[in-house]
Chain A
Amino acid sequence: MGISIFHSVYLDTNLCVGCTTCIKHCPTQAIRVREGKASIMEERCIDCGECIRVCPKGAKKSATDPLALMSDYDIRVALPAPSLYGQFGSACKPAEIFDALYSVGFNEVFDVAWGASVLTPAIRRFVASTQTRPLISSACPVIVRLIQLRFPSLIPNLVPFLPPMEITARKVRELLAQIYQSDRRYSMPGESGEFDQHRAGVFFITPCTSKVTAIRLPLGYKQSMVSAVFSFQDIFASLKKAMAPRGEGEAGDPAPHGHSGHEKFSRFSGLGRGFDWARSDGELESLRIPGAVSVDGIENVITLFEDIDNGKFSDIPYIEALACPGGCVGGPMAVANPHVARSTIKAIAASANSSASQTQAESAKRGSVSPERNNDSPERLYSVTDESMRWETEVTPTPVMLLDRDLTVALKLAEGMETIAASLPGLDCGACGGPDCRSLAEDIVKGKAKIDDCIVRLKQKIIAPEASMPSSAACGKQA
């Protein structure tokens, strides 16, 4: 089946018919069809999920973690991505979704929108502190990987902060340790009652294929504090069921981990601006940086990055770049229609924003860490320094296209590639199993394909074996 140790996106070989649709849409040319089946070149995959979107057979899938993993942990914390609140239609209140999360077995719920909301002012300060333009948001892991692979010269333009998911997960771990170690009323299930981070599961709930990879191969930090990643598609049905009106069969049963008094720090905070990060433009609207630009959809992002690479747009201060159309609401594992979800998120963010004080009261009622429980004010507990959100490790180029480390050898191979490319029809039809003629030439010099994989050329050879092969110039392209 080919499930990768790092990547989320994989191929179900049984379903693949080798139609070559996906190879054309892959932004890093990571897919080839060989012997009738697609295969992904691991080192080139950025987990954007484009192939999942375009495959007519549903053969491209995403391997997130199974929900059953929850039972491996004594404390289970849900970290819903802001886009979760857009999945159930505008009639459904965030509080109901929050409650549903308890019902399905989480002890604690902590919104990733919180991470986005504390990151917002930090980014604003960073933008003011540097001359580099345009700065590029690093919130979407696909974008960071795209830059590493295809636009390494833009690495210095990335805003060097952890993504909201990780900022939130770190705070959650910190709070767990604080609460379980300092407050005698809370102890870990088990004999010793000693708090153990390993027995506390922090679960990110997301529509995003790239988050699985982001926790396995973190970008800009050493280790992720997230235990597992659950997809909207996997959890949707059980949340929906938990939200069904009471009295309707099982749904009315007392929840195994009902939230009455159980939760220690769950907060449904008045973080309207954080929720907004679920959709394109949302990050910009919270940042309020004049002249900033938002771009969504991987192809649009690439077009813009090419221009920046060519020296354009150095007057744009900040770019919110999201791989998915419409932002995270358009994530490959989302359930709701992204356009509908986008409006829902807008509405939620607006109302949460306008009633910040009311929500705060609600948050206190819901049992967020309160002064009575801890001798610390919530403000101090929830505070984060800009420094603590910064990248800790360098994000480096991933030279996946490199033909050889030795320039002389690489030049020879490149030359061979161009010669082969010139003898190919230049149709970029994909029948060879590669995205274009040049990629077949590349695969040939790398010994991964042969010239007769070009069916068009082969056919011409059979029909007119004595005639010379048409150069690509004959097909309207310069050799």
Chain B
Amino acid sequence: MKLSLSIPWMDFSAAGKASAEVKKLLARLGIEQGLVKRIAIAMYEGEMNIAIHGGGGTADIELTPDLVDIYLRDHGPGIPDIGLAMTEGYSTASEEIRNMGFGAGMGLPNMKRNADELYIESVVNQGTTVHLVFHLNRKQE
């Protein structure tokens, strides 16, 4: 099944809404807690990146009995150096954003840590797609 959610730009009152919606879906499906937690954390970080860096976008969630695929898409500025962006602590977030408690530069590394697979496609000035994959039948390490 599919679930499509929109993520508004810089709307901090909506922060975490998409992630909360995904959690509700996983609860309806009875997905194991450890996995729910990993998905929630990765999804939240991805959602915040779209809201803060990506100019808003969408989250498309696809579920089968074996896999959870999450596509986080935006048409924002793109990431010029993905390797650098993946570095712990690297962030281009503004002073203002940092003051709000975001921009610690741990989002992408946390997504990598929690997802079973992570793919990033990004074109400068065109946008970014982060693809997260979770395996449903695999035991949590």
Contacts and interface: CB of A to CB of B under 8 A. Distances in A.
B40 interface: yes
A306 B63 contact: no
Contact of B30 (A150, A407, A477): A407
A410 B36 CA distance: 16
Given A310-B16, A410-B30, A153 B4 contact: no
A127 interface: no
B30 A311 contact: no
Interface in B2-48: 2-6, 16, 19-20, 23-25, 27-30, 33-34, 36-37, 40-41, 44-45
A408 interface: yes
A402 interface: yes
Interface string A405-417: 1011011111101
A415 B1 contact: yes
Contacts of A410: 28-30
A27 interface: no
B58 A478 contact: yes
Given A401-B28, A407-B65, A478 B1 contact: no
A306 B27 contact: no
Contacts of A408: 65
A402 B1 contact: no
Contact of A478 (B5, B16, B20, B37): B5
Nearest to B6: A478
A309 interface: yes
Contacts of B64: 411
Contacts of B91: none
B16 A402 contact: no
Given A153-B36, A478-B4, A478-B58, A310 B30 contact: no
Contacts of A317: none
A455 interface: no
A402 B37 contact: no
Nearest to A152: B33
Contacts of B3: 418
A100 B63 CA distance: 62
A407 B68 CA distance: 13
Nearest to B106: A311
A399 interface: yes
B21 to A, nearest CB: 9
Given A153-B36, A478-B58, A307 B16 contact: yes
A309 B24 contact: no
Contacts of A405: 30
Interface in A12-41: none
A479 interface: yes
B110 A402 contact: no
B6 A309 contact: no
B28 A310 contact: no
A397 B27 CA distance: 11
Interface of A: 150, 152-153, 155, 306-307, 309-311, 397, 399, 401-405, 407-408, 410-415, 417-418, 442, 477-479
20 contacts: A152-B33, A153-B36, A153-B40, A155-B33, A309-B23, A310-B41, A310-B44, A401-B24, A401-B28, A402-B27, A402-B29, A404-B30, A407-B29, A407-B65, A410-B30, A414-B29, A415-B1, A415-B2, A418-B3, A479-B4
Given A399-B27, A401-B27, A411-B65, 7 more contacts: A153-B40, A306-B20, A311-B40, A401-B28, A411-B1, A413-B28, A478-B6
